[in-house]
Structure 1
């Protein structure tokens, strides 16, 4: 699949681009910019009838905002406290616990605080961030906990939006989008996040700020653990999400994370001790969940670690490969799988869709003589869904891998890695990271854009990771490409296989939408790298008017089947450009 040109978003960007922007929180006036910035935070306005909106909530959570304090600049602490006092939502308390600060301006700032909703505790000795936060937790009286670092800011609508979400969803765990405050006091680097994504959380602490958690649940898991200082919030998030599936995302920036040299907001190198904590908390999660696997550092992303789940059992992988008149690439594909893969328990089912080229017929005859290869003639008009369904019906393995005939694996353990994910109870389809022969990205996940599904980061050079590791870490996606799609047989059969009313395009997306509807998550295993000579079998659809018409017809059929996903992708974000797979913020 190709991404649709971003003409609409470019036109909107040109029309709405401002000539200047305001200074950020705490400053007056404006400054002129040399060029338009890609991101501008616009402070919200309260509802015209705020009292009525609050009365209509029904459930009114009381928030306990917990802030451990230690040797922070007094002005930053004052700004953090002021951001809580400025909340539209009135049902809150702020508990500040000073972890034996030695800075005079920190102590002075604490001494100046005088507000009936704010309590200040002082520890007799320095105990670290987890223990200090737990001390605040022990004093909390609210039913919902919100974490605020001593130098960061809540947006004025933060608690209001959290309360609205809790009232609407009954969530135990709520997280929002966030941005950063740079060294000049400007809002920058927004992180517009996906909706709940369990594999993304196991890959990176993406929920981060702001986070609200049911206090009874935080207490039930034992609060924060001092052994993971530097990543204590990440450890808590993993443990909380093992206890509840009532998790909600607010797709709005509700938190400003200040970039300071000693803060993780400035980069992972700011707290090297946190690296080890991240590795250990993931290893601990695997043990706690009874899931065999290892935790590995990620090249190009210091401080990040991926999980490599171990396959359970010596199971057979049935590799289904539709093909027509493509003998050379088909042979190269099977040879590459056989010789480059460390997982040897495989069978191949080649669906020959009416090949008549002599060289291909000769190749099929040779391949059919191999012990683990079965050639199934199927001369019907091309229908990718029907070919794959037939292959699955003849397969004998517990794991199905639908593979294009113009692919070649590059990482020897690609099958083990994909099997490990496919066997997770919550996972539906597993995709691989597909590269073009020049090394650029062909597939690292499918996004459902305003103009339809497309490949994220298409043709992006595969060397430098994208922001937040979206093209490098194991995130959940709405869909993965059928060019290399693995799934447990029982899950494939549970949702009814491929929809044969989609013969050419979007059949992989449609299957993934049904898996999503069944409560499963589709994930891309980025460490499983495969070269894809895209459309080498059938050619490109771009230049053929007939193929373009068929593509549009298939897309209409997709939306007929799944109207709720028209221009909607829970793993994208409404604050991102609606027709870009590059996860760029919409321009103001």
Structure 2
């Protein structure tokens, strides 16, 4: 039989990052040719074989700095070898052959150069989608697809590897991010699509990515990615916060438009149903004259005129400052000075301004910062539209040497995030009557975090909190400011922050201890207590794609014994298709709280998961708590769920490095979320029974969170806890409708459609869909 098949090699040429070799193959009907490539030690290297005609093919492999051995084989239908031939290709030999063919203008060599692009998509099609920086290495994100003619090829294991120019395998971790096989067209042909990630070793500049089926079918494809391409893809996936972006000043037509907008605001004042007065309180202490003048000018230029500016001067020994304050007071009747005998600290100095204020609202402004000319107009507009508003805040940026940089676009009111960091921060505005209702004004122990403390105090009592999603405040960066050198410049502020948060927890009855600098430097870390009567049920969901449950159950039981020996805890395995709420109520009615691990989870939660997941529930801080889910490559699968105007729930930060902070630490700190993911979540057993609806399918946990929100209860994204997940192969019908996903989504929208209007309240509306990590 071997005489019936023959293989010979022809022209060798190079194209874009690839070596092309023409191959002549003579074989009987039904026989198949395949190719493989290896280095001197026999380690597999990328290569592909494409047919050009009945007896002609071309093999192509990456341009590497090592000797490669290309082997082509012909096998019959039973898999028996009919013919085999090998060709050794050195880097120098391939380059010289290619140069010679180019000089000769060899038509056959030209015909096979870059043939992979000329022939169109290969039977297995591979493409790179993103390059994500994760510390000292890159993570490649790509997609592959191929047609499946039978079930075996539909579920065949896929190998994806990366190689550098030396031929070394530089794959640190490879894993699937999603894996789907759907029916396409009327013929019943299936097509498999897999999205994958490759974590590379450190320092790789040029990479060849090689994908192949590991069993039966020998289809394969590879791509070579040059350094400039890696750089371009990295840049596309960087968050805006990764670089200090400068805000372009309004010039030309933009400046005219801005002035027209301000003039329109001045003319609109008669339309306001209410005209509140704002008392802007500015404590002064050794204030540089130019900073003072810029701050005052920005206040007096407001398009909303109903204001008083209170300059609380704590530097009576500074004759120049005192004289300048007097000049400012004489220049505008809306300015008053409050003279102190000495500096009593920022909190007590601010208190003096509060006592002197006569406005309906108190606004707090630092002596070296500035505000936009329409800051108060937007605040007044909010109060006019919503008279019950008791607390307001806005977005901000940084002022550096006259340039506006680093905008901070904030979420709406989030009392959970506020316990970790003072994200409200500057231009805090509170109703004066609420402050007057406090049991005395704060003391000097809150110096450095006085605004954070005031936000917590008023936030507990506020009927309504308004976030104005516009950059209205400019925080000056200089050598003595927190903006310039960070919170370490004012280390005393850390203890004040801890005290402010701990006092808030105590007032609200939350059984937790506030630490600073624990799991996240410079931020408050809540250490929750477990209830003494806790009866915990841990549910491990499994489906046909899940890994074996026995090992996971054993690990969970050992963790529970070590973490809380006195906790009544039970671990059970349930089918992922079962009605979770019904099964828990029927067989485990004694449980007070339930922790659920979804079918994709491969290992127990990481971190101090028992108090972090159950503590917020027991304390009443949250109605549902969800953990982050992370792929083996270190990329996030889910860090919360967005609910906005796009009519479908979306994951937060998909494919973002779990090690990174995210936009202003959103990926690392606990915060409120419209909904949490289904891979790992915790809920009180009573709430599971009354709010979880299994008929919503994949959206059941989203429905649970939205149902709790209707009662005014928060869902918490607990980013201190993570679970490892894998992407199981999902097979579906010809459409989302056949798979049931569309029907479940329609039912979710029918019940909670009002939640899918506008932007998600817990994610800034100003970081949009063009941001890769906004939501999938």
TM range (shorter): 0.7 to 0.9
Question: Which residue, 555, 558, 573 being the options, matches 1:350?
Answer: 573
The 2-side partners of 1:549 and 1:83 are apart by 60
Are the structure 2 counterparts of residues 459 and 217 from structure 1 closer, same or farther at C-alpha, using a change threshold of 3 Å?
same
* Higher-Rg member (1/2): 2
Asked if 1:279 is matched to 2:279, the reply is: no
Corresponding residue of 1:71: 286
1:288 aligns with 2:507: yes
Does the 8 Å CA contact 1:263/1:270 hold for their aligned counterparts? Answer: yes
Q: Which residues in structure 2 correspond to 1:122-521 (within 5 Å)?
A: 122-221=339-438, 222-266=440-484, 267-298=486-517, 301-325=520-544, 328-341=547-560, 342-343=563-564, 344-352=567-575, 382=577, 386-395=579-588, 396-407=590-601, 408-411=603-606, 413-448=608-643, 451=646, 452-495=648-691, 497-500=692-695, 502-503=696-697, 505-521=698-714
Q: Distance in 2 between matches of 1:580 and 1:552?
A: 26
In 2: Cα distance, 1:461 partner to 1:50 partner = 44
Partner of 1:58: 273
With the length of structure 2 as denominator, give the TM-score of the two structures. 0.62
1:557 partnered with 2:743: no
Contact 1:455/1:581 (CA < 8 Å) preserved in 2? no
Per the alignment, in what secondary structure is the counterpart of residue 150 of structure 1?
Answer: coil
**CA 1:391–1:156 in 2, change beyond 3 Å: closer, same or farther?**
same
What stretches of structure 1 of length at least 5 have no aligned partner? 11-19, 31-39, 354-381
Shift of 1:486: 0.8
State the shift of 1:119 in Å.
0.4
1:530 and 1:98 map into 2 onto residues whose CA distance is 53
Give 1:275 shift. Answer: 1.2
**Secondary structure of 2:312's aligned partner:** strand
Shift of 1:130: 0.8
For 1:566 and 1:463, the matched residues in 2 are separated by 30
User: Offset at 1:187?
Assistant: 1.8
Note if contact 2:399-2:474 (Cα within 8 Å) is conserved in structure 1.
no
Shift of 1:231: 0.5
**SS in structure 1 of the partner of residue 624 of structure 2:** strand
Three-state SS of the structure 1 residue aligned to 2:286 is: coil
CA distance in 2, matches of 1:457, 1:58: 41
Cα displacement (A) at 1:104: 6.2
Q: Greater strand percent: which structure?
A: 2
- Taking only aligned residues, the RMSD between alpha carbons, in angstroms, comes to 3.0
For normalisation by structure 1, the TM-score amounts to 0.81
- Kindly report which structure 2 residues correspond to 1:104-123, keeping only aligned pairs within 5 A, or say none: 106-113=321-328, 114-123=331-340
Tell whether the 8 Å contact from 2:556 to 2:571 is kept in structure 1 after alignment.
no
Q: 1:509, CA displacement in angstroms?
A: 1.5
User: Compared with structure 1, are the counterparts of its residues 82 and 48 closer, same or farther at alpha carbon in structure 2 (3 Å cutoff)?
Assistant: closer
- Bigger relative contact order, structure 1 or 2, given CA contacts below 8 A and separation 6+? 1
Give the Cα–Cα distance (whole angstroms) in 2 for the partners of residues 423 and 516 of structure 1: 17
Task: Kindly state the Cα deviation for residue 391 of structure 1 after the two structures are TM-superposed.
Answer: 3.1
Higher deviation after alignment, 319-328 or 198-207: 319-328
Q: Is 1:84 the equivalent of 2:299?
A: yes
Cα distance between partner residues in 2 of 1:48 and 1:545: 57
Equivalents in 2 of 1:43, 1:453: separation in Å?
Answer: 36
Alpha-carbon separation, structure 2, partners of 1:467 and 1:72:
32
Alpha-carbon distance, 1:319 to partner: 2.2
Task: Specify whether residues 196 and 319 from structure 1 end up closer, same or farther in structure 2 by C-alpha distance, changes over 3 A only.
Answer: same
Instruction: Verify the 8 A CA contact 1:402 1:484 in the aligned structure 2.
Output: yes
Instruction: Report the CA distance between 1:483 and its aligned residue.
Output: 1.5
Q: Distance in 2 between matches of 1:55 and 1:256?
A: 28
